[in-house]
Structure 1
């Protein structure tokens, strides 16, 4: 093909209709806004003939393709071309406006039939095509458009013939728009959203804008119409949720104002919608209206004059089996999970989502930052290493201005009537330049009722001093550390938003609770959006039908960013990560605090009274057993208010007594079943510490020296202490060996995604874990001494943890006292090398026989927990099989630890092994070694160790969000240079 619009920065479309608001018309008397079962819509979704060509120059419309491809879809999901995941860098040479000559092209063909009449016009709509498309009808060129995630509409009336017609669409993998679509995602191609033809009367409403404003007891709804300048009679009726007409009017002009008395306002907690019925003589448009305002007062973000908090996530249209294709069912699944986890806001990263998505957000109640299809941070590395001097190159280069302005105009015009959209965003990570200013001006002209967002403040050196950062309505930042975040919150003059924070890659994010505490502490802190909602991965199945998820580099790509796309709060199939459970409780609707014997409830909702929204149930447990319970069902508490909870507790005395308040959904909601738990608070009401004493035993214990250490024997046990290791290498209970391998000291963990930088895997550091050789640490023991009495044996073993070429990491005075009962009291006096900033962990690793499958523990659960990731956990006595403690991250890594543990047991059919301490510790029980986790790149490649690996840790460093955000906070790192780790290890035969 000889067309070249896709390499001309001055041409972003050819022969398309002017942009309009999104709606689907219907016939007079009908009452639908759906494409299905609508006689005005000819839906062209389905099977298309498809031909794939390695380059556009080779593509042909002449032949009839033999292959069939579903529309909508991405052709890479069906074996054409290859998947490629790239985060920042351009997948093509930075040579605008040109793209590679070998530019893959898919040619789609199908037929459809229409009946032509003089009174009907036909409009062909493409809601999403990546990256651009040329359209032909009956062999004649119709038009061209780019901007992958925006609608292109063509008037095809003059191209049609009565009866059967053939449409052909040539879709290119790359165009000059590729330089503006460098989003962090799998790069896929094809027609991935709906395609349809609208049958419309000659005279019709092309575009309309609905603008509500609120007075004290009423609301004015202003309509602005574009009907091609005709004097078309337009009748508008507004119906309430019960279908009653509350306002109506008629006009031949381009404006109309209607008044609604005592309106019900829309907000994310109470998403009340009115219905608009717009009638002309030959057509009807049905839409919804939300009465709400968005504004700022000083630095506070307001909806309907009420301060709000955005408890948000970033979301892509991304699914493991359908790629960019998002069905209604898939979108509802996402929104239901979000609602049930207290998420009230979504940033559409980094492009307009499917049009229906916004209607769902209107209906179910979400605030949306609607973002333009714009990201050009590939320029950052266009001159070699990533250099901030080039970051804003595209926004600085005026030849891109037409395309950049076009993108924000399409964004705003399409979604202007959606009440869920409270903030427009120009795009993401593209820098600041002359084109940014032009885009701001374009948005302001189209809509002044919403706020404007843009995060990037990088600019070219020659643009120093040219820009006023006050052009945006909010202050937005990405991944600031906690200290800087608080500084921003204290100093900001506009609402502060973290458009990306708490990078949720792998085992994380840590310190979510600290960020949420800042959200609530500062009125001007409007909230933030966790990066990101879902793991991006491609689903395949092995020969046994087991799901396998693939990421960057698994498709033969040379340029890729590995598993950096696997960074969500949910797995690709939408199973929640433990990080989502953490977020859920940080964003819980109520906070209860304790003041002596008084409990105070703080309503964190922005609009709903507590008595309407939630029931509170409380449970009192001792050692994990319920001893009392109650409920508070009609507790009235206005939003943003605090009051004493009416609760009367029974007399409390003893240890491990915990009071838990749980918040249950009370109001009916289509996405949240009544009774759904939306969060909790827990309090330790113990009046004394748990007195864990050794079982009394007067049985004799003997110690016999062996070639490699000491054999310690009692009535029903024998342990062998291996002097070379400084630990026990055998544990026999009633004649049955419990150890599969010798126990070990452990100061390392399989790096999490957030550890990759500091571990020295993502980038080499002078003091990375691997360069320090922490992963190779092993014991070097000095002279062991043994003391024996009638009922105990004490083994003292000084040792160091060492590795080749490294000076000792720490010196340990290890003391083991073996009692006649079989209990081993272990005491480790530890001195850590002064120049080590911190240790990933310190503890013991036991390798039990694989039949030790049953675990019981008192600590934070039921999901994994860490020092900086346990806000979504509570303390109780938990029971689980060892495989259930494993968190199966797509990229294997440290997982399954439990923080704040007081005691833990593992058992098989014959024996129970118990560990406990007076000071809370962490533990992990797994079928996999940390070596296996560290060496394996995919979850489906993991090999079980053949034993049960049991870590008993003095402490484990927290997880942070260092894969993109801040590393673990200092207070959650194991930085102590001197400490004592005391615990008791007690094997028992089951009775």
Structure 2
């Protein structure tokens, strides 16, 4: 039975040494047949000022509720107050949410602190009441909350708790045991917005509050397992497993024993034993032969049943756990799993839902895991707090490696704007008053999650600088678990504490800096715990990081992050409908705006275009087709390529003409060429482009993918014997030309083109009287800024290019009649920089128009965002078909996930829904493109020389997109005045090292001193 709770005090809220009062010791997470009663569902909630409640007065909470009955709302539990309870959502990254409104010194909190008073009436289920009467224990459990709770049951104070990301349990047996099943009990919970814990929970996220995980009652029998610890070791040399079970058994009468039974995945018995109970029962197996090990590639689980048998021979409780046999550790400075060097192809994951906030259900968790598996992501860092315990079960089952991170981030306590560190203000640092709370957060996570085979690494927290507190945490972690490594990146700011982390972990370090570490005979394995900031149109240059896998000490990284944190905002008069909102959209100030949206998944859990890049570069296999076969490199740890079909196909000018499936058996860590009988001679011709394609697909259906799911692909284009000829270059159409004083015209049948001497280009291009252009094509040297562009001040650094093309003026025009057409040459002068640009139209007698825009190059200027043209077309031209790299948008530094082929795209598909409108919809490597209406009428663009161009077709101009900060600020696509075709000779990459200053890598920039030419042939469809 618990000791009586002391009189509650409001001072606990601001005392970091008080973080739990009367809380039950942390237990392992395990399934039990003990009776359980859910208290989820509708709860009454009152939002009020924290000063309205006197927690020391047991009558105060109920009195406040009665006096404000007209303001009580009903909300579901679990849920967050920001998504269901009327609290305003607020997003901040580093700064504290009260900064500028109040300036409390830690551990104090603002005077404007709020509290949500929750109230729930319940009757006790019969089986729980029986357990209480029979000497059992009834635990009240709060699965997740923020930020601090005071709890009363039937007017009696139960306890106080902080750290809401591991369950807080309270023994309330004495309050319930004497009551009948008809007795109505009242549970009141005061959930405070801020407490001293707020200083430890400054994670880059929406600041959610409330009871966001489930609330329940569990009735444990008098003799029961309180906690259990399992070590399931695997010897990869002998394939022998060994099981060590340490159970903490509560046995008030004495004489109990434990029977353990282990079953394999087909329910066949593998091992069993029974041992008398001791203070902490130890059950150790001999070697278990022929054990199938656990890994993300093959997540084999065994079922362990523990029966607690009392002294009379009765089974009091049965506990069930999944067991995965594996051996993970650091050997000679390299992390290994079951004897093989591991590489984490990871992502950081916040628990987030755009409608439910932090209150995820199992379907949401499973959707995230399936996305990861489908995209070759093998690892998740639980940034930056322990996740819902069900999530770890799914990681065990589906095969995801986990860095389990304690609920700790204090970035705002030691950083000034501009990433200026202030070590003296860092919390916890070496401040002893914070040490117990921090160690407790780590210890509770470890006790809860110890038995999960998916958990490979313990992390002490995130971005909280260094200090003796972290040394104490690291020491405690190794005491509790000598096997798993300890991770903490914050020591990179204070190398005095280098011993705290077993891993050299850094965030947002560029590839060249990582390579310097790897080439310096490192003592520790290296990971990037955060890299590739996936904010908006990003993840460019990922291959520069995955290429580092050639270094043994490089063991991967974790992309930031999995999902955009954007919340659905109710419709406003301006938006006309609900929309995905970011920081500041709810009136929250201070805020950090769209910095919350950094995901490979959009907030609605649809994949962003960058997901294809991640899938391809994170694959354990790489395929390089050649004329003799397919070069297969197998970087997996345990899986042969024979587990997949190798599908080979042949494309001719983008069309698939041949396909075959071949077998392969490339072992883990090996590389080999698999023969393939490509029928190249049968399809070759001087002007045909032949592309060899190889694809590795699943032979069988799995729990997370169908049979035939593609793991990765490879393409190789064979060199052309001759460049392709522009469409119809040899066909005369009896074109007639008119060279007037003001305009030059061409007419061929029902087609007409008119070029203006004064307007500087083609003002009319019509078919049977219907115009195909609205305005002359405009030179463009600008793209709408991406989030990465804005973070690197590209708008400032490249301001000249914003106006150079848009406001270019035509300074000269010349007309020359030739044998088979008329050439009209315009000389433009780019605004602000004065560079001459040549724009030439050649009106051919086959009805085509050759268009050439030439930038000559100029020194001493910023690199170009892009060079080409933007063209306003009729709004009916709403479909893009192209032969190039697709299907999604691609950029010069994000090409690996795209493949060469013929693709069809709608305007909505290419208007990528980044939270803030920005550059999107670009397609690299185009040989031809068509913009058409639903009937197939429109414009065809073909490379004149065989050099590919870039193309996009969007409902908005670049200028419109640049000016908008929400999509609803742009015109309704259905009522847009034009469709905008953009053709580019070159465009810079999108970058991704970070979103606050890093430049796109030099090899992906467009140098201003180099010449760039867009040379295409235009014709009508």
TM-score higher than 0.5 here? yes
Indicate conservation of the 8 Å contact 2:398/2:703, yes or no.
yes
Q: CA offsets per residue over residues 874-900 of structure 1, 9 Å max, x none?
A: 101122333333222221111001001
Deviation at 1:923, TM superposition (A): 0.7
Q: 1:158 aligns with which of 148, 166, 174?
A: 174
Offset of residue 619 of structure 1: 1.2
Alignment partner of 1:975 is 2:1007: yes
Q: 2:262 aligns with which of 235, 238, 242?
A: 238
CA distance in 2, matches of 1:410, 1:319: 25
CA offsets 1:672-713 (integer angstroms, 9 cap, x no match): 111112221111124424422324326344243344x54455
Residues 1:211 and 1:741: Cα distance change in structure 2 (over 3 Å): same
**Alpha-carbon distance in structure 2 between the residues aligned to 1:140 and 1:210:** 38
Contact 1:838 1:975 in 2 (8 A): yes
**Does structure 1 retain, via aligned residues, the 8 Å contact 2:439–2:472?**
yes
Corresponding residue for residue 816 of structure 2: 787
Unaligned runs of 5+ in 2: 1-7, 55-60, 310-315
Q: Does the aligned pair in 2 maintain the 1:113–1:162 contact within 8 Å?
A: no
Looking at structure 2, the residues matched to 649 and 386 of structure 1 have their Cα atoms a distance apart, in angstroms, of 56
CA distance in 1 between partners of 2:770 and 2:705 (Å): 51
Which residue in the other structure is 1:728 paired with? 762
Give, in whole Å, the separation in 1 of the partners of 2:661 and 2:324.
35
Q: Does 1:42 align with 2:34?
A: no
Q: Deviations over 1:724-743 (max 9, x none)?
A: 55322222233222112221
Q: Distance in 1 between matches of 2:679 and 2:51?
A: 78
Pick aligned residue for 2:285 from 248, 258, 262: 258
Which of 153, 161, 166 is the equivalent residue of 1:145?
161
Paired position in structure 2 for 1:109: 119
2:888–2:910 contact (8 Å) kept in structure 1: yes
Change (3 A) 1:976 1:102: closer
- Larger deviation: 735-744 or 349-358? 735-744
Match of 2:217 in 1: 197
Specify the alignment match of 1:340 in structure 2.
Answer: 374
Which residue in the other structure is 2:717 paired with? 684
| Structure 2 residue 213 is matched with structure 1 residue 188 | no
Q: Is the 8 A contact 2:223 2:251 kept in 1?
A: no
For the pair 1:559 / 2:590, whether they are aligned, the reply is yes
Pairs within 5 Å for 1:557-596: 557-594=588-625
Query: Which of 91, 96, 110 is the matching residue for 1:90?
Result: 96
Q: In the alignment, which residue of structure 2 is the partner of 1:33?
A: none
Distance 1:870 1:713 in 2: 41
- Give the structure 1 partner of residue 58 of structure 2: none
CA distance in 1, matches of 2:1008, 2:410: 44
Of the candidates 199, 202, 205, which is equivalent to residue 179 of structure 1? 199
Q: TM-score, normalised by structure 2?
A: 0.90
Q: Paired residue for 2:24, among 2, 9, 17?
A: 17
Distance in 1 of aligned mates of 2:804 and 2:826? 23
Residues 924-966 of structure 1: CA deviation (Å, up to 9, x unaligned): 1111111221111122332144211001100111111141584
| Counterpart-to-counterpart distance in 1, 2:567 and 2:507 | 27
Supply the distance in 2 between the matched residues of 1:981 and 1:210 (Cα, whole angstroms).
66
| Alignment correspondent of 2:884 | 859
Question: What's the counterpart of residue 502 of structure 1?
Answer: 532
Q: 1:94 to 1:818 in 2, by over 3 A?
A: farther
Structure 2 counterpart of 1:34: none
Q: Identify if the C-alpha distance between structure 1 residues 798 and 656 changes in structure 2 by more than 3 Å, giving closer, same or farther.
A: same
Going from structure 1 to structure 2, the CA distance change for 1:793 and 1:71 (only over 3 Å counts) comes to same
Are residue 99 (structure 1) and residue 109 (structure 2) matched?
Answer: yes
Change (3 A) 1:774 1:479: farther
Q: Distance in 1 between matches of 2:936 and 2:606?
A: 35
In the TM superposition, residue 971 of structure 1 has moved relative to its aligned partner by 1.0
Alignment partner of 1:661 is 2:698? no
TM-score (norm: length of structure 1): 0.93
Please state if 1:539 is matched with 2:564. Answer: no
Instruction: Give the 3 Å change call, closer, same or farther, for CA 786–560 of structure 1 in structure 2.
Output: same
Match of 2:679 in 1: 650
Tell me how large the CA RMSD over aligned residues is. 2.2
C-alpha contact (below 8 Å) 1:703/1:788 kept by paired residues: no
Pairing partner for 2:649 from 592, 616, 619: 619
Contact 2:986–2:1012, Cα closer than 8 Å, also in 1: no
**What is the aligned residue count?**
958
- Cα 1:392–1:25, aligned 2, differ >3 Å: closer, same or farther? farther
Aligned to 2:546: 516
**CA separation in 1, counterparts of 2:501 and 2:29?**
26
CA distance in 1, matches of 2:513, 2:530: 15
Identify the residue that residue 37 of structure 1 maps to in structure 2. Answer: none
For 1:545 and 1:611, the matched residues in 2 are separated by: 54
CA distance in 2, matches of 1:844, 1:500: 37
For the residue of structure 1 that corresponds to 2:469, the secondary structure is helix
Partners of 1:723 and 1:781 within 8 A in 2 = no
Question: Deviation of residue 359 (structure 1)?
Answer: 0.6
Which SS does the other structure have where 1:440 is aligned? helix
Aligned partner of residue 335 in structure 1, secondary structure:
helix
**Partner residue in 2 for 1:456:** 490
**Which region of structure 1 is more displaced relative to structure 2, 367-376 or 887-896?**
887-896
| Cα deviation, residue 717, structure 1 | 3.6
Change (3 A) 1:739 1:651: closer
Of residues 150, 154, 164, the one that matches 1:134 is: 150
CA distance in 1, matches of 2:747, 2:366: 63
Compared CA separation, residues 500 and 285, structure 1 to 2 (3 A): same
> For the residues of structure 1 that align with 2:440 and 2:581, how far apart are their CA atoms?
35
Q: Structure 2 residue aligned with 1:770, among 799, 806, 823?
A: 799
Q: CA deviation at 1:392?
A: 6.7
Tell me which moved more, 952-961 or 299-308.
Answer: 299-308
Task: Call closer, same or farther: CA 1:959–1:855 in 2, change over 3 Å.
Answer: same
Distance 2:997 2:457 in 1: 24
Measured in 1, the distance between the counterparts of 2:243 and 2:758 equals 82
Q: Secondary structure at the match of 2:225?
A: coil
Q: Distance in 2 between matches of 1:748 and 1:391?
A: 45
Distance, in Å, in 1 between the alignment partners of 2:738 and 2:440 is 83
Contact 2:145 2:210 in 1 (8 A): yes
Cα deviation 1:389-426 (Å, max 9, x = unaligned): 34871132332212211111111111111110000111
How do 1:409-428 and structure 2 match up within 5 A?
Answer: 409-428=443-462
Say which is worse superposed, 822-831 or 6-15, in terms of deviation.
822-831
Instruction: Tell me the SS of whatever aligns to 1:352.
Output: coil
Cα offset for 1:495? 1.6
For 1:745 and 1:156, the matched residues in 2 are separated by 74
The structure 2 residue matched to 1:327, chosen from 353, 357, 361, is: 361
2: CA distance, partners of 1:483 / 1:704: 58
SS at match of 1:400: helix
Change (3 A) 1:831 1:378: same
Aligned to 1:219: 241
Deviation of the 1:571 alpha carbon: 1.0
Cα distance between partner residues in 1 of 2:28 and 2:907: 54
Show the counterpart of 1:912.
938
